[in-house]
Amino acid sequence: MNLKGIGRKSRTAVSLILAMVLVVSMIASGKVTNAKAATTITSMGYYSANDGPIINAGVTGGAGFCYPIFNGDSSIKYEQVADDLKAYVKTFSDNDWVDIDNNAASGWIYDSNFGQFWDGPGGYWFTVDETIQVRLQSKSNPSVYLDYTINYSEPVRNSYVISADGSTTLTAGDTGAIGLILPYIDGGRPVKSELDNFVYELKVNGQWVAMNEFTVTGFTYQANGYKKNSAANQWGYWVDGIYGLWFQPIQEDMSFRVGYPLDGEKGGDIGNNYVEYTFIGNPDAPRPDPADYEDIEIGTVDNYDLDGWNLIWNDEFDGNALDTSK
C-alpha cells in the first residue's frame, strides 16, 4: 500500500488499523493464545501455616493471607480460577455469610477495608476492628470452601502515659517531608479507636496552638496524602503496620507536641502527658508556586495568534478538505 499521498494523521490512522488487523489474524490463526486456561475449583488448601486458618491482625487492624493452593497444584494461579471463586465474610455476631464482591451496601468496600495484593503468589488483605471470618468458596462446587479467622482485639491499658518511639529531633529531607511515629500508650502501639483522643499542637510565637487552627498554624490537614500542587504547609496520618504523622514542606525549624488524656477519654485532662518534638527545617525544600497553575491563554477559533508565541503547526486541512501537500 502506498501511503505517500496522504497526511501524517491519516497515515497514523492507517498504520493503527493495519496493526489491529495483524493482531486479530494472529489470534484467529492460533499464534496468540492464553497460556493459562481457566479451570474450576475442586479443592483448596492453605498456602502455608502463616496463611490460615487463624491470622492475627496488627494494631492497625491490617491482616492478609495468600491465595490457597487450588486443586492440589501450586502452579495454578488465581487468574485461572478467578471466575469460579467467591469471597464471603461474617462476624461472630452474624448468622449468615455476606457476599463482599461488588457489595458496598454490606460495608465491605474494595480498596477501602479489603482488597487483593499481587506480590508473590498474591492474596487478600483486610482492615478490621473486630474478629471476622472469611470464606473462599467455589461457585461451581459450593461444598469446596476454605475458612479463615482474622483475630483482632483492643489492648488493655493500665495507664495512658505516652512515650516517644525513637528520637524527638526530626530533620526534613530534600522534599521538606518529616515523618514521626505516634507515641506509645502505656508502652504499646496506639490503635485506631485511640487516634481521635490524641492532641496535636504547634508552638507559634511562644504559644501552643491546636494544629487544626489553620489561620494561626498555617497547616492544612490532608486526609489523602500530600497535595503537590498546593503551596500550603500540610500534615496528615500515615499507616504502615503502625500509625504516624507526616508534615510537608518543613522549611524552617518548629516545635510540635503530641498529648494524650490521662484518663484515656477524648477531651480529658492531659496535664504533662505530652511528647515534644523539634523539627529541623530544610530551607531549600521545594514549595509549589500557585502562579504555575493559573489558566493558560490558548487563543480562539478565529484567532490563533498569541503574543510572544510563533504558530508552527495548525492542522492538515484546507477548509473542510484534506490538504495532502502537508
Rounded Cα–Cα distance for residues 281 and 218 (Å)? 15
Neighbouring C-beta atoms of residue 50, cutoff 10 Å: 9
Query: Residue 230: CB partners within 8 Å, gap ≥ 6?
Result: 220, 288
Q: Whose grid coordinates read 488483605?
A: 125
In angstroms, what is the C-alpha Rg of the chain?
Answer: 29
On the CB side of 96, CA atoms within 13 Å amount to: 4
Q: What is the pLDDT of residue 25?
A: 55
Q: What is the pLDDT of residue 306?
A: 73
pLDDT per residue over 100-111, tens digit each? Answer: 999 999 999 999
Cα first-last separation, the chain: 19
Q: What is the pLDDT of residue 46?
A: 98
Long-range contacts of 237-241 (CB under 8 A, 24+ apart): 237/195, 238/179, 239/60, 239/62, 241/58, 241/59, 241/60, 241/62
* Residue 12: alpha-carbon gap to chain centroid: 37
Q: Could you give phi then psi for residue 80, rounded to 5 degrees?
A: -75, -25
Compute mean pLDDT per 10 residues along the chain, 326 residues long, and list them. Answer: 46 52 50 66 97 96 97 96 97 92 93 95 96 97 98 96 97 97 98 97 97 95 93 95 97 98 97 98 91 64 71 68 73
Amino acid at 65: F
Rounded Cα–Cα distance for residues 76 and 43 (Å)? 12
Q: DSSP string of 157-210?
A: PS---EE-SS-SEEE--TT--EEEEPPEETTB---HHHHTT-EEEEEETTEEEE
User: Cell triple for residue 90?
Assistant: 461474617
* Residue 24: alpha-carbon gap to chain centroid: 37
3-state helix, strand, coil in the chain (%, to 5): 15, 30, 55
How long, in residues, is the chain?
Answer: 326
* pTM metric for this prediction: 0.73
Q: What is the pLDDT of residue 178?
A: 98
Q: What is the pLDDT of residue 322?
A: 75
